[in-house]
Structure 1
Amino acid sequence: MSPSTPRFGVNYTPSQGWFHHWLDFDLDAVRADLDSIAALGLDHIRVFPLWPLFQPNRTLIRPRAVEQLVQLADAAAERGLDVNVDGLQGHLSSFDFLPAWTRTWHRRNLFTDNDVVSGQAEYLRTLAAALADRPNFLGMTIGNEINQFSGPPHPDPDPITPAQAGEWLRRLLDACEQGAPGKLHLHAEYDAAWYQDDHPFTPAHSATLGALTAVHSWVFNGTAQRHGRTGTATEHHAAYLIELSKAWARDPHRPVWLQEVGAPAPLIPAEHAAGFTTATVANALDCADVWGVTWWCSHDVSRSLADFPELEYGLGLLTNDRKVKPAGEAIARTVEEWRGRTYAPAPRTTALTVDIGDGDGTGGGGHGTGPARSTCAPGGAFFEAFARLTEAGVRPTAVLASRAGDRDHLAARGITEVVHPDEVR
C-alpha cells in the first residue's frame, strides 16, 4: 500500500564534474550539494555510480569506489536523506558508460552472455551488501534505463527477446536481494517499455517484477510537441504513466514510483518550468498508490562540459553554484504543502481499456511482445482517448481488455465503469 505521505526526492547530479566526480571524489563538495538538496525539504536522493569506474574489470570491483559510495550515503543520512542506488550506468543524459570488458574486442551481449551477467550480478550484490546495514539505504535500482541498450534506436544494440529480458531482470533483482535482503529493489526503463511496439522490456515486466513499479516521464517524447507546454496531456503525462502501469499490475495496490520527471527546454521554456513542475506533481499525486516523486535533477550540468544535448544543461532544481531555481522553489512549496497531509486520492472509477495485441502479457512471465504498444504512445488511440477523458475531468485509469470483465479485479481497484477508446469522442 502507499505511504500515508508521499516521498519527495531528487536524482542527484553532482554540481562539480557531473557524474565524473567519482574520478576526483570530494566529500566536502558532496556534502555541500546535499545541504542544498536538504534545504528544499526533500527526503531522498537517487545516486548513480559509473559502472566502468566501479568495476573496470569483470573480476575487479574497486573497494575504494565502494567505500566512497558508502561515504556519500552516510553524508546523506546526516542530512536526513534516504538513498536509492542505481547500479549499472549504463546510460546517462545521452552518454553510455560501459566497461571495456563488454565492448570492442570483448564485445558480448549485456543481457545474455553468462560471464557478463555474472559480473553484473556480483557488482550489484557487492554494492547492496556494502549499504545493507545503513538505515537510510532504500535499495537498488538495477540501472538507469538500461533497456535502451536492447534495441533501436540505440546505434549498437544488444538484441534480446522479452523472455530473455525477464530472465535478466529476475537474476539481477535476486542479486540485489542477496546483498541487502528486504530492501526496495527494482528496475527502471525509459518509456519504450510502454510505447514501442515489440520492445523486449514489456509493461508486464515493469508492473510485476521488483518491489514496486518505476515510471520515467519525459514530455519530449512527442507529448509536448503534439499537445503544447500547457496541454492537458503534457501536464498529466506523469499521471498517465502511473495509471497506465496499473493495467498490468497483479497487485491492485502495487506502489508506483515516479522516479524520473523533469521540465525539458525548449518544450517547457525556463520561465514556465515552475508552473509545469507544480502541475505535474499535483496531477501525479491525484493517483493512488504513488510511493513518491523524484525530480530530475538536483543541479544543472556545468556549461564547461561539452557535447550534452542542450536540454540537459538546465534541468536542475538548483544552479551549478547551488542557487535555487524557480522549479526548485516550486518543489519546496509542494513539499511544505504536503507536510502532515494524508495521502488518500479518490478512486478513479472510470477505466479505459488498453489492448497491445497479445492478451494481457502477464502470463508466462510477461513474455508477450506487445506488438501494438504504440496505441499507448502520444498520438496513439489509447493515449489520445485518455487525454480527452482527462480534459473532460473524468480522472480515468487503465485496465487491460482481458481484465475488463473481471468483476473482482475491477472491484479491487474501485472501477465502476469501463470505456473503450473508440467510445471517447
Structure 2
Amino acid sequence: MRAVQDRHRTGPEEDPIRTLRFGVNYTPRHGWFHSWHDFDPARAREDLEQIAGLGLDHVRVFHLWPLLQPNRTLIRTGAVDQLARLVDLAGEVGLDVLVDGVQGHLSSFDFYPEWTRSWHHRNVFTDPEAVEAQAALLRTLGRALADRPHLIGLQLGNELNNLVEHNPVTVEEVDHYLDTLLAASREGVRPGHLVTHSAYDAAWYGDGHPFTPEASARKGDLTTVHPWVFSGDCARRYGPRSPQVRHLAEYGTELATAYALDPARPVWVQETGAPEPHIPAADAPGFARATVRNAAECANLWGVTWWCSHDVDRSLADYPELEYTLGLFDSAGRPKPIAEAFAEVAAETHSIRPRDTALVLDCTPATRSVSGPGGAYFEAWMRLRAEGVRPAVVLASRADDAEYLAARGIKEVVRPS
C-alpha cells in the first residue's frame, strides 16, 4: 500500500509539499451495482483499467448487503469471494482499494436484507442481534481481504446515516453502534490498514441529527467528508461558479479538522462530484480543478476520491436525474472532459499553505445548521475566503486554548461579525 502521506520541504522559504491520494468511487459500467448478481471479472477489469489509465491511485468499492448477508446468520462465501476478486483485479492494474462493508445506501437507493424488514423488522442501529450481524460481516470481510497488499482498509459502509429515517436512533446509540462496528472491523484487518466510517452532510449541518460531527471527527482512523454541492441547496443558492461552491470541499476539510481532538488528524474528501444541473456540464472541468486545488491547500487533507467512475446507463430506471451524469466516464466507457480535468489536477504538485487565522464556530447540536450553506457561520467563513483570507475553523470551546492553537499554527482568532 502506498504511504498515507509524505510531507517534506523543498526549501527553507517554500510551503510544505506532500503526496496526496487521488481516486474514484467505482460504479460498474454494466448494470451499476446490480452487476453483483452476475459478476463479470472481465468487465470489471475493463472498468478498472480505464480508471488506472487516468493516473489515479485508488478506488473505493461497494458490494450489496442483501447479497453478502441474506440471512442474519448467513454470510455467503461466494459473494465474499466476488468482492475479493474485485479487490485483486484493482491491484493487478495498480489501484489500491478501500472496501465499504454494509450497503446500506447507494445513489438514492437503500439496500436492506429481508431479515431487517417486514414482520421481523429490526432497527439496524439499535437491535443487538442486527448490530452483531453487521459486526460479523465486517469481521468476515476484513479477514478475507487482510492479506491484500493493496488494501487501504475497511469502511463500515456508505453514508449509514441515510438509514436514520427508517431506523430511529439517539446520539448515544449511534456512538455505541459505531464503536461496536469499528472494533469488529479492526478484528478482521491487519495493523496498518485504515478503519473508517462515513456520513452524509447532515452529520455536519443537520440540527439535532443523531450522527454528530464529533463522531465523524473522533471515531475511526481518519475523518471522511462528503461535501456535496446540493447539500443545503448550495449550488443553486450561490451559483455553480461561486466561491461557496468552489471552496466547499476546502471548507468541509477545515470544519472536520476543528471537531477533531487531534490537531493533525487526516481528513479524506471521500465523495465530491459535479451533479447536473447543479453544476452544468460545461462548468464541470473548472469545478473539478478548483475543488481539488482549494482542498489540497488544507494541511490535514489525506486525499480526494471523486464520485463516481462511470455514469449510470439510462437503460436503468428511476434514478434522480443527477445520478445519470456523475461519472468521469460515460456509460459507454469514454472519458468525459471532467475526467481529463481531474486527472490533470491530481498530477499537479500540491503544497500546504499555512492558515494562521481561525474563525470561531459557536453552535450547539440544535443550531448546527449555522455551519451549513445558508447559515451565518458558513457565509462569514466564505466572505473571509473571498477577501483573500484563508481561515481555519476553531470551535468556541477551544478558541482560548493556546497550546491547541499553536499546534495548528493559528496566530489570530476572529469571531463572525
Shift of 1:419: 1.0
Task: Determine the structure 2 residue equivalent to 1:130.
Answer: 144
Q: Secondary structure at the match of 1:88?
A: coil
Secondary structure of the 2:230 match is: helix
Query: 2:357 maps to which residue?
Result: 350
Q: Do 1:238 and 1:261's aligned partners in 2 also have CA atoms closer than 8 Å?
A: yes
User: Which residue identity lines up with residue 254 of structure 2 in the other structure?
Assistant: E
- Equivalents in 1 of 2:363, 2:223: separation in Å? 19
1:337 CA drift (Å): 2.2
The one-letter amino acid of 2:416's match is P
Partner of 1:363: none
Judge conservation of contact 2:257–2:300 (CA < 8 Å) in 1.
Answer: no
Q: Does the aligned pair in 1 maintain the 2:309–2:329 contact within 8 Å?
A: yes
How far apart, CA to CA, are the structure 1 residues paired with 2:407 and 2:253?
A: 17
TM-score (norm 1): 0.93
Q: Partner of 2:11 in structure 1?
A: none
Q: Pick from 26, 30, 38: which aligns with 1:16?
A: 30
Indicate the residue corresponding to 1:372 in structure 2.
Answer: 367
Render the CA deviation track for 1:182-228: whole Å, top value 9, x for unaligned: 21010000000000011111100011100000000110112111110
**Partner residue in 2 for 1:168:** 177
Deviation at 1:267, TM superposition (A): 1.3
CA RMSD of aligned residues (A): 1.0
Which residue number in structure 1 is paired with residue 284 of structure 2?
A: 273
What does residue 34 of structure 1 align with? Answer: 48
- Give, as a single letter, the amino acid of the residue that structure 2 aligns with 1:375: V
Residue 99 (1) aligns with residue 100 (2) = no
* Deviation for aligned residue 1:149: 1.4
Q: Is the contact made by 1:89 and 1:97 (CA closer than 8 Å) also made in structure 2? A: yes
Give the match's secondary structure for 1:372: helix
Q: Which aligned pairs between 1:64-83 and structure 2 lie closer than 5 A?
A: 64-83=78-97
SS at match of 2:304: strand
Write out per-residue CA displacement over residues 361-394 of structure 1, whole angstroms, 9 at most, x where no aligned residue.
xxxxxxxxx1110111111111000110110110
Q: How high is the sequence identity, in percent, across the aligned residues?
A: 57
Whichever residue aligns with residue 204 of structure 1, its letter is: E
Partner amino acid, structure 1, of 2:400: G
| Structure 2 partner of 1:296 | 307
What is the CA–CA distance in structure 2 between the aligned matches of 1:165 and 1:393, rounded to whole Å?
A: 39
Matched, 1:224 2:219: no
Secondary structure in 2 aligned to 1:199? coil
Q: Could you tell me how far apart the structure 1 residues matched to 2:54 and 2:353 are?
A: 28
Residue 44, structure 1, aligned to residue 58, structure 2: yes
Q: What SS does structure 1 have at the residue aligned with 2:279?
A: coil
Maintained 8 Å contact 2:217/2:259: yes
**Structure 1 stretches of 5 or more lacking a match?**
358-369
* Equivalent of 2:188 in 164, 173, 179: 179
For the residue of structure 1 that corresponds to 2:190, the secondary structure is coil
2:202 is aligned with 1:188: no
Could you tell me the TM-score, scaled by structure 2's length? 0.95
Q: Distance in 2 between matches of 1:336 and 1:114?
A: 46
Given that 2:241 and 2:283 are in contact with CA atoms closer than 8 Å, whether structure 1 keeps it comes out as: no
* Counterpart AA for 1:323: R
**Count of residue pairs brought into register by the alignment:** 401
Shift of 1:348: 0.8
Partner of 2:124: 110
Q: Which residue matches 1:392?
A: 387
Q: Is the 8 A contact 1:2 1:289 kept in 2?
A: no
The Cα shift of 1:334 comes to: 1.4
Partner in structure 2 of residue 197 of structure 1: 207
| Residue 321 (structure 1) shift | 1.5
Q: Within 2, Cα distance between the matches of 1:53 and 1:381?
A: 44
In 2, the alpha carbon distance for the partners of 1:306 and 1:262 equals 21
Which of the residues 157, 162, 165 maps onto 1:143? 157
Inter-partner Cα distance in structure 1 for 2:362 and 2:142: 37
* Poorly superposed stretches of 4+, deviation over 4 Å: none
> What is the rounded CA distance, in whole Å, between the counterparts of 1:76 and 1:407 in structure 2?
46
8 Å CA contact 2:227, 2:271 repeated in 1: yes
What CA distance in whole angstroms lies between the structure 2 residues aligned with 1:302 and 1:194? 32
Query: Does the residue aligned with 2:348 lie in a helix, a strand or coil?
Result: helix
Shift of 1:44: 0.3
Counterpart residue number, 1:245: 256
Q: Secondary structure at the match of 1:125?
A: helix
Give the superposition deviation at 1:336.
2.4
Structure 1 residue matching 2:101: 3-state secondary structure = strand
Between the aligned partners of 1:337 and 1:405, the Cα distance in structure 2 is: 37
User: CA–CA distance in 2 between the matches of 1:336 and 1:168?
Assistant: 39
Q: 2:168 aligns with which of 141, 159, 174?
A: 159
Match of 1:410 in 2: 405
1:6 aligns with 2:20: yes
| Aligned-partner SS, 2:54 | coil
The answer (yes or no) to whether the contact 1:2–1:253 under 8 Å persists in 2 is: no
Unaligned runs of 5+ in 2: 7-17
Partner of residue 334, structure 1: 345
Q: Aligned equivalents of 1:419 and 1:264: distance in 2?
A: 34
Whole-angstrom distance in 1 between the partners of 2:97 and 2:222: 16
Query: Following the alignment from structure 2 to structure 1, what is the Cα–Cα distance between the partners of residues 408 and 64?
Result: 40
